[in-house]
Structure 1
C-alpha cells in the first residue's frame, strides 16, 4: 500500500547553536525537505600513528584519534508543482527553496565567525555537524531560463560541543548520545540502567525510538539513547 502524505516523515535540517557546551536548535530556523533523499552516506574513520612501536610483534600501530564523522546526500528541489506540498504551504520557485536551505546551512554567522551548526534528523538518523560542500546541479528549466528542478549535493562534517569533547574519554557518560545494537536477552530497562544508571528512563527511550512494543527487543535492532537533559 503506498504511503500517504501523513505517513511520510521529511528529512529536517535545523540550525543550532553551542551554548555553554550544549547544542540547541535556533527557533524558527529549520527546513524540511520536499523530497527525501533516496540514499545517504555516513562515513566514520579511525586514525593510527604512522610509526610502528619498536619491537612490534604484530599488534600494529597505536591508536591516535577519531576523525570527525562525515554525512553526505543529495536533495531534489522541484518547482513544477507536480510534487504535492503540505496543506497551507505555498508553492515556491526552486531558487527560493535553495535560498531557504542556504539560510539554515550556509549563512555566515558574524557573532561566531562560522556557518551555523546544523542538526539533521530523519528516521533513526541524528547527525550534528557543519556544512563542508554545497553543490547545485540544475536539470530542468522554463523557456525563460528559470530553473524548475535542481539537485543539491550536500556534505557535512560532524560537530561535537565543548562538553561532549570533554566527556569523550568517558564513553559511558549519560551526557553523550549512544547507539546500541540489541543482543539476545537485552531489555530496554536493562540497557537504560547500563547507559544512564537508571532503568526508569525506558519509557522516554521507547518514545524517542518510536517503539510501540518494547518488552521483547529483537536481536540486531539498533536503538538510539539520547543524552540526558
Structure 2
C-alpha cells in the first residue's frame, strides 16, 4: 500500500480503476472505473510476515527463520443507494438503479475471461493507493421497492495486493543487503531530490531514471510509482 497526497477541503470519493497489463506492470485504464457514492466508514489493511514452520535444531530461542512477506490485504464496506436520498456529486456518472450500479462495479473488479483471472485494480482514496485483485465480494440487499427491485445494498469487498516481479525482487532485496524503495511521486518531487532523500546523494538520478525506463529524469508525474534499487 502506498500513500498519495489527499485533496484538503474537498470531498474525495473512493475510486476503483481496472488496470491493463504492460508486461507484468499494471497501468490504470480511466475508461473502466467506478467511484463510490458512499465512502467506507472503516477500512482494514493487513500485512503478514511468514516464517518457516520449523525451529532450527539447537535454536536457543531466537525463533523461526524468516520466509517471506505475504501479499497485503485490503477490505472495506460501502452502501449502494437507489433511493435518491444521497446527493450525487457533480461529475459522478452514477446510474439510478442499484442493480446497474453493482453491474458497473463487477465490470471493473470481476473475473476477466481473456486473462483467466480477475483484473488488477487500483484503489485510490485520500492518502490510500492500493493495487490488487478482488478476493471476496458479499452483497446484502437491505431495502426494496414494492416490486421487489432493490433500493439499497451493503457491499463488502476484499482485495489481495499485487506486485510485479520487479517490485517483489526489489522489496526482497535479493541483490544487496541494502533496502529497496518504492516511492509514489508527489507534486514538487524531482528525481535528484528523491535520490538525495533515499540515498543521501542526488547524483544517482540518471541510473534511477534508466532503471524505471523513463525517457528523462524530468519525466515525472504525480501518482506514478518509482523504484529505487539497492546500491551495489
Q: How many residues align?
A: 196
Contact (CA 8 Å) 2:39, 2:78: kept in 1 or not? Answer: yes
Question: In structure 1, what is the Cα distance between the partners aligned to 2:38 and 2:164?
Answer: 30
TM-align CA RMSD: 3.1
Choose the corresponding residue for 1:104, options 91, 108, 119.
108
Give the alignment of 1:26-41 within 5 angstroms: 26-41=29-44
* 3-state SS of paired residue (2:226): coil
User: 1:155 Cα shift?
Assistant: 0.5
Q: Mind listing any 5+ residue stretches in structure 2 that lack a counterpart?
A: 1-8, 185-191, 206-216
Contact (CA 8 Å) 1:21, 1:164: kept in 2 or not? Answer: no
Question: In structure 2, what is the Cα distance between the partners aligned to 1:76 and 1:35?
Answer: 6
Say yes or no: does 1:142 pair with 2:161.
Answer: no
User: 1:167 Cα shift?
Assistant: 2.2
Q: 2:58 corresponds to which residue?
A: 55
TM-score by length of 1: 0.75
* 3-state SS of paired residue (1:168): helix
Moved over 6 A (4+): none
Per-residue CA distance 1:40-75 (angstroms, 9 max, x = gap) = 100111111111111111211110111111110001
* 3-state SS of paired residue (1:144): coil
Q: Which moved more, 1:86-95 or 1:128-137?
A: 86-95
Give the alignment of 1:1-229 within 5 angstroms: 7-87=10-90, 89=93, 91-106=95-110, 108-170=111-173, 172-173=179-180, 176-177=182-183, 193-195=196-198, 198=202, 226-227=225-226
Question: In structure 1, what is the Cα distance between the partners aligned to 2:125 and 2:137?
Answer: 19
RCO (CA 8 Å, sep 6+): is it higher in 1 or 2?
A: 2
TM-score by length of 2: 0.74
